[in-house]
Amino acid sequence: MPTDSKEYKDLGMLRKQIEDALAGASSEFAVTVKQASLSESPLLEAVSKQSSVKGYTQDDKAVYVLTNDAVFKGDSRLFKNEGDWTAPVGLGVFGSNVYILDKKANQIFKFSPFERGYDKVKYLAQTALISPRPRR
């Protein structure tokens, strides 16, 4: 496209409008970092109470914490590890299901509630190579 064409000039004007709009937007969404106290964050408070936290997550109702020994919902134990996981590196919750990522088993275990507790199911049809990002 020739630099002296109407289309080229229109694109230049449009680009300037976009750049101006983005420049103004960045100052509107500034983030201020501050230290959080445990009383202000249920997630931090729950994690601080467990000495061997392997994973944690939060939904709109509760904070969940994963250790080598159990999964906790808030201050109470949801279910204990009965040899189900050996090297937990992650935890997720969706609906009433709990998902545990086990590095040694190369598997995601899905725990679904039933009348006597939680039932474990291998979430993946086959094992998968699991290589989580290191915590910072």
Instruction: Give the pLDDT mean for 40-57.
Output: 75
Domain check: are 13 and 50 in the same one?
no
Domain check: are 117 and 95 in the same one?
yes
- Residue 65 has a CB neighbour count (10 Å cut-off) of 26
Residue 133 lies in a domain: no
Range of lowest pLDDT (23-27, 65-69, 128-132): 128-132
User: Tokens for 72?
Assistant: 């906790």
| pTM, rounded to two decimals | 0.60
Domain check: are 58 and 107 in the same one?
yes
Quote the CA–CA distance of 31 and 22 in Å, as a whole number: 16
Q: Which domain holds residue 10?
A: 1-33
Domain count, the chain: 2
Domain check: are 29 and 91 in the same one?
no
Residue 24 lies in a domain: yes
The CA-to-CA distance between both ends of the chain, in Å, stands at: 48
Q: What is the pLDDT of residues 3-26, one digit of tens each?
A: 888 888 888 888 888 887 777 665
**What is the DSSP annotation of 4-46?**
TSHHHHHHHHHHHHHHHHHHHHHHHT-----PPPGGG-HHHHH
Domain check: are 56 and 76 in the same one?
yes
pLDDT at 46: 67
Quote the CA–CA distance of 7 and 82 in Å, as a whole number: 69
Q: What is the pLDDT of residues 77-128, one digit of tens each?
A: 899 999 999 999 999 999 999 999 999 988 899 999 988 888 888 777 665 5
Helix (H, G, I), strand (E, B) or coil at 107: strand
Domain check: are 54 and 101 in the same one?
yes
